[in-house]
Structure 1
Amino acid sequence: METKAFLIEELKKIEKWELEQKDLWFWERLGRLPFKILDKLTPAFIHKKVGQLLDEIGGYIQTGGQYLVQEQKILCKFAENDITPPLEQIKHFPLKTMDRVCDEIIQSRVTFARYQGATTGVGGIFTLAIDIPALLGLALKTLQEVAIAYGYNPKEKRERIFIIKCLQFSFADIVGKKAILEQLTAFNDEHQQVFSQLQGWREVMMTLRDQYSWKKLFQLIPIVGIIFGAMFNKSMIENIAEAGKMLYRKRRILEKLSEMKNSV
């Protein structure tokens, strides 16, 4: 049985992580500088691909689109005595069990991202048109699986909104991270303010494009892009998965603490 003291201690660890996220790394700033120059050198079809992704993200928020995952595969990881629990029961599992399943998901997705980045790095900058949608799809699927690991249903529109906020958080600068954390604090209260800021998914795609600035630079040379593609994709999915885990974990801890308080 989880104690209140244990949950509070785990919550403090997440809050410490949140404070660390508010410090923008120097190289992250530097990495954005060459984007304006490199952007002019980028083939038009890549710009078109980014534009298409904007529409896809809009569709994802509304319906889940092509990015919905098979939740049964995740639920099987919670099976006891060959009995797979329904998603509604996952929230009652111990936090350590949720963490174990989440970590398994992250490890699998990060490994896949590394191989995906290496594969799309073969052709240099021109294969970036394939890499961008593939990486976005992997990011969304990873966050949906993390949501399931902590007992949340990504088929619900409010959870898809939360997932987009997780994406925003992982790409945002110090000001953006602070603002998103404030929005997510009110998320469980279902404040309309959170739902009214859906245009943030456009910011996600623009920031994602900025993040590719260094990758574009190195992918100008085919084959060399294999190394940097693998490193970049692995790092990006690691950061996105970490943000998803921490933010969903925090929600679950707060809900468990609230249940304890109400049961007294």
Structure 2
Amino acid sequence: MTTPSAYELDAWKNIQKHRSPMAAQAGHAVADNVVKGAAKMGQAAKKGLDRVPGASSTLAKGLGGLSKGAGFVGEKAKKVGDQVPEGAVNWGKEAVASTQKSLAKAARVGLSPEAVVKRHQKNGHAVKNLLDVRSLDLELVDAVKPRGRQWIYPALGAVSGGAAGLAITGGEAAVTLSAGVAAAPTAGVIAGSIAADAAAVLTMSSRAVGEIALSYGYDPEEPVEKIFSMSVINAGSAISSASKFAAFRDISKLTQAMVRGGTWKTLNQSIISRVTAQFAKLFGVRFTRQSLGKLIPAVGIVVGGAFNWSNLESVVDTAEVAYRRRFLLEKYPHLAEDDSSEFTEPAPTEASDESKDQTISVLEELAEAGGPDLLQEHDSKSV
């Protein structure tokens, strides 16, 4: 039995202790509180921004002043949210799905297995192809990984979220709190802005996960990797207990099948396309429901940026840990005997409004599209 190095054992211990980052939790809480009309929304947003690396302290302090009228703003926001018809949610769903092919192409630009191989070779590592990366010690993999992903993608997401908030509030960044619903945009503007924002976030999420996959020796263009990538994005963007459980269960089942070397002959391009399109639709619904905090005049811009930052940060963080865990389990299957991470037993989250989230199971969609039904496999152990 191959023994992990001290570096790899330390990494495994960290995986067991891993939980979602504080900034992501705070950002999601902000969006939820805004829609509920919580009187302390401004203070919650300030705390969320304070936990985001590099966030502007000026913006954070500004929210503190706005918190004086937070009760009023929250109530008005709820009314605006109630005015957004279900049709707007469905419109956003179809808009994101209709552009999923273009999104996929955009997400793949610049991602090259050859570039990863060259980086390793430049550092003197015995790597001839991408698959060889998986046989390296984790310390060597970490030595050549690109830096800055933990903030680059969240920062880009924040820009998109802020732009969406600006478009939704009609550019009235300095509108008085008394403007209330009178300053609210039309449902069409709301739907269009949120759909464009959702498409941008999904593209950035896909690219971030693809880049991380390559770092650990996995080609994001492989059919099974596309399924795994969607499962990771699903887990990173989920906020409710039910949606997180479904997402982490998918990652667990997929990892189990991959560690055991399962065959994927049934995963043809047609099946992958159907699953990808359906996931884009469901992601669009989830994103729209979570984004109603962007409706509030003035603070919608800040909340939109903070929410998108937290969303991308959570996806990047989840991807790093999911691929790291899978990398180690494929090399050292016996580690599964000591696996108590959130990927095997999702920790219960604080109570959250299930209606503001969309429960998605990529593996359920895979089975419905004609692929293998991994959720029906009954095993005594979960990997």
Q: Determine if contact 2:89/2:288 at 8 Å carries over to the other structure.
A: no
Rounded to whole Å, the distance in 1 between the matches of 2:202 and 2:309 is 13
TM-score calculated relative to the size of structure 2: 0.52
| Cα gap change, 1:166 to 1:42, in 2 (>3 Å) | same
- Fraction of identical pairs, as percent: 18
Question: Partner residue of 1:215?
Answer: 291
Checking the alignment, whether the CA contact within 8 Å between 1:168 and 1:200 is kept in structure 2 is: no
Q: Deviations over 1:1-24 (max 9, x none)?
A: x9444423322321332xx46xxx
Give runs of aligned pairs for residues 214-253 of structure 1, distance below 5 A. Answer: 215-221=291-297, 223-253=298-328
Partner residue, 1:155:
221
TM-score normalised by L of structure 1: 0.72
- Would you say the 8 A contact 2:134–2:217 is kept in 1? yes
Deviation at 1:86, TM superposition (A): 4.5
2:255 corresponds to: 185
Q: How does 1:60-99 map to 2 (within 5 A)?
A: 64-72=104-112, 75=116, 78=120, 80=122, 86-99=129-142
The C-alpha deviation readout for 1:140-165, integer Å capped at 9, x for no partner, is 11111110111110111110000011
Matched pairs, number: 248
2: distance between equivalents of 1:170 and 1:116?
A: 18
Match of 1:123 in 2: 167
1:262 aligns to what?
A: none
Normalized per residue, which structure has more helix?
1
In structure 2, the CA distance between the partners of 1:10 and 1:159, relative to structure 1 (3 Å rule), is same
Q: For 1:30 and 1:113, locate their aligned partners in 2 and report how far apart those are by CA, in whole Å.
A: 15
Question: Quick one: distance in 2 between partners of 1:85 and 1:213?
Answer: 46
2:235 maps to what in 1? 169
Gaps of 5+ in 2: 37-77, 169-189, 335-383
Does the 8 A contact of 1:168 with 1:201 survive in 2?
Answer: no
Q: CA deviation at 1:51?
A: 1.4
Q: 1:248 deviation in Å?
A: 0.6
Which residue of 87, 94, 97 corresponds with 1:54? 97
Task: State the 1:252 CA deviation.
Answer: 0.9
| SS of equivalent to 1:71 | coil
Q: Alignment partner of 1:70: what SS?
A: coil
Task: Note if contact 1:64-1:160 (Cα within 8 Å) is conserved in structure 2.
Answer: no
Q: Which amino acid in structure 2 is aligned with residue 53 of structure 1?
A: V
Separation in structure 2 between the aligned mates of residue 82 and residue 97 of structure 1, nearest angstrom: 10
What is the distance in 2 between the residues matched to 1:146 and 1:201?
22
Change (3 A) 1:200 1:182: farther
Distance 1:183 1:103, change over 3 A: farther
Counterpart for residue 15 of structure 1: 16
CA RMSD of aligned residues (A): 4.2
How far apart are residue 50 of structure 1 and its match? Answer: 1.7
> Cα distance 1:47–1:166, how it changes in 2: closer, same or farther (>3 A)?
same
Deviation per CA, 1:115-152, whole angstroms, max 9, x where unpaired? 23223332124522321111111111111111011111
Residue 148 (structure 2) aligns with: 104
Opposite residue 128 of structure 1, the aligned amino acid is: I
Q: Residues 184, 11 of structure 1: CA spacing in aligned structure 2 closer, same or farther, 3 A cutoff?
A: farther
Q: Which residue does the alignment assign to 1:142?
A: 208
Structure 2 letter corresponding to 1:11: W
Deviations 1:37-91 (A, max 9, x none): 836515956632321323555x59xx95443232239626546269997534433
**Distance in 2 (alpha carbons) for counterparts of 1:191 and 1:177:** 22
SS of 1:186 mapped into structure 2: helix
Q: Which amino acid aligns with 2:309?
A: K
SS in 1 for 2:230: helix
Q: Computing the radius of gyration over CA atoms, which structure comes out larger, 1 or 2? A: 2
The Cα of 1:249 is off from its aligned counterpart by 0.6
Larger mean CA deviation between 230-239 and 63-72 belongs to 63-72
Output the CA distance in 1 between the equivalents of 2:80 and 2:286: 12
Q: Which amino acid in structure 2 is aligned with residue 210 of structure 1? A: R
Closer/same/farther in 2, CA of residues 216 and 64 from structure 1, 3 Å limit = closer
Amino acid at match of 1:80: K
